[in-house]
Amino acid sequence: MTRPDIAYHCSKLATFCQSASEEHLGWGYRVVGYLVKTSHLGITYGGQLRIPCGMSDYPPGFMESLGLHAYCDSSWGTEAQPFGGHVIMLCNGAVQWAAKKIKAIPDSTAEAETVVASRASKDTVGVRLVLEDMGARVQGPTALLTDCQAARDVIIKPGSTQRTKYFERTTLLVKRLHMLNIIDPVLIRTDDMIADALTKPVDRSKLGTFRNRMLNQDHGPGTMGALSADARRLWKHLRQPV
């Protein structure tokens, strides 16, 4: 619940609970061993707000919204129901994430990515509502980062096409949220897609990079001190009358 870097592995192993074997038990021990070796890691929040991976500048309203943004990704082509994952970032750290199979059986990468984008959008709206209830001001649409050009086109282009007319309404929720100026889909490179670690096994170096980003481990010893400044700023938001 506090380590998004193993979310995919735990979710994948959970699919074998009804017919687990010694091999699956061995992989479970590997996950536990990884946690033991990295028990010093955990999510921290604070530090100077960093530009989201893959972007060259801050999105509109990013600083005022305490760095709220989200990444979403999906694997496709290896399973009928591929894994999809997303992570929502706030104050440089992950506040909500998911790694689980898509309920639908997508016919294309665009459909799979759109399904995951809609799922990520739901959780993003939830985080925005919590922040607003706390008195923090969420400015402008929240950046939703994806590495699929086709999925972004589906979201931002009005109406439906021959390829998307069969999509379910729940799949196109993200399109509606974009029209309401709540979500802003942003295209980034696959190499910068943090949520890639929530959809499939990745190599050790890439996992380390994505893990450090989600856990906010890149700031070093100055993180806790900077956290106090962010905490004071958030407290100032909370003290303001709603």
Please tell me the distance from the alpha carbon of residue 230 to that of residue 232, in angstroms, as a whole number: 5
Over residues 182-239, the pLDDT tens digits come to 999 999 999 999 999 999 999 999 999 999 999 998 754 444 334 445 545 554 554 4
Please tell me the distance from the alpha carbon of residue 95 to that of residue 125, in angstroms, as a whole number: 13
What local confidence, expressed as pLDDT, does residue 222 receive? 40
Please tell me the distance from the alpha carbon of residue 56 to that of residue 36, in angstroms, as a whole number: 36
Is the distance from CB of 223 to CB of 216 less than 8 angstroms?
yes
Can you tell me which residue has the tokens 């893990």?
211
Please tell me the distance from the alpha carbon of residue 135 to that of residue 170, in angstroms, as a whole number: 30
Q: Which residues contact 70 (CB under 8 A, 6 or more apart)?
A: 86, 87, 88, 89, 120, 121, 123, 124, 142, 143, 144, 145
What local confidence, expressed as pLDDT, does residue 159 receive? 77
Over residues 170-185, the pLDDT tens digits come to 778 899 999 999 999 9
Domains of the chain and any CATH numbers: 43-237 (3.30.420.10)
Determine the average pLDDT of the residues in 73-83: 88
